[in-house]
Chains A and B, each alone.
Chain A
Amino acid sequence: MKRNALVFATLLIAILAMLAAGKYLTRARKHGVITLVGDVRGVPAPDFELASLDGKKVRLSDYRGKAVLLNFWATWCSPCKVEMPWFVDLQKKYGNDGLVILGVAMDDSEAPKIAQFTSEMGVNYPVLLGTDRVSEQYGNVEFLPTTFYIDREGRIISKDTGLLGRGEIEENIQKALASRVAGVNKADTSAAEPTHAKAQTTAQ
Chain B
Amino acid sequence: MRRTFVALSLAFLLSVLTPAQEPGTRLPTVTMAPVSKVQLRAGGSATVELDFRVGSEFHVNSNKPHSALLIPTALHLTAVEPLKMVAVNYPAGQDMSFPFAPTEKLSVYSGDFTITAVVKASAKAASGTYPVSGELRFQACDRSACYPPRSIPVKFEVNVLNR
- A residues near B (Cβ < 8 Å) are 5, 8-9, 12-13, 16, 19-20, 23-24, 74-82, 106, 108, 117, 142-145, 161-163
**B37 in the interface, Cβ–Cβ < 8 Å?**
no
Q: Is the CB of A161 within 8 A of B9?
A: no
Q: How far is the CB of B155 from chain A (nearest CB, A)?
A: 25
Contact partner, A16, options B9, B71, B144, Cβ 8 Å: B9
> CB-nearest residue of chain B relative to A39?
B20
Contact partner, A163, options B25, B69, B144, Cβ 8 Å: B144
Given that A9-B5, A161-B145 are contacting pairs, would A78 and B13 also be in contact in the complex, using a CB cutoff of 8 Å?
A: no
Q: Which residues of A contact B16 (CB under 8 A)?
A: 16, 19-20, 23-24
Q: Is the CB of B100 within 8 A of A78?
A: yes
Q: How far is the CB of A130 from chain B (nearest CB, A)?
A: 11
Q: How far is the CB of A195 from chain B (nearest CB, A)?
A: 33
Q: Is the CB of A12 within 8 A of B5?
A: yes
- Which residues from 36 to 72 on chain B have a C-beta closer than 8 Å to any C-beta of chain A? 69-71
> CB-nearest residue of chain B relative to A80?
B146
Q: Is the CB of B6 within 8 A of A12?
A: yes
Bound complex: CA of A5 vs CA of B100, how far in Å? Answer: 57
Q: How far is the CB of B9 from chain A (nearest CB, A)?
A: 5
**B2 in the interface, Cβ–Cβ < 8 Å?**
yes
Q: Is the CB of B24 within 8 A of A78?
A: no
Given that A5-B1, A143-B25, A161-B145 are contacting pairs, would A78 and B106 also be in contact in the complex, using a CB cutoff of 8 Å?
A: yes
Q: Which residues of A contact B25 (CB under 8 A)?
A: 143, 161
Between B13, B70, B146, the greatest number of chain A beta carbons within 10 A of the residue's beta carbon is seen for: B146
Q: Which residues of A contact B148 (CB under 8 A)?
A: 74, 106, 142, 144
Q: Which residues of A contact B147 (CB under 8 A)?
A: 142-144
Bound complex: CA of A75 vs CA of B139, how far in Å? Answer: 12
Indicate with 1 or 0, residue by residue over B90-129, a CB within 8 angstroms of chain A CB atoms. 0000000010110010100000000000000000000000
Q: How far is the CB of B139 from chain A (nearest CB, A)?
A: 6
Contact partner, A74, options B1, B9, B12, B146, Cβ 8 Å: B146
Bound complex: CA of A20 vs CA of B25, how far in Å? Answer: 21
29 A-B Cβ contacts within 8 A? A5-B2, A5-B5, A8-B2, A12-B5, A13-B9, A16-B13, A19-B13, A19-B16, A20-B13, A20-B17, A23-B16, A24-B16, A75-B69, A76-B69, A76-B146, A77-B146, A78-B101, A78-B141, A80-B146, A81-B101, A82-B100, A143-B24, A143-B25, A144-B145, A144-B148, A161-B22, A161-B24, A161-B25, A162-B144
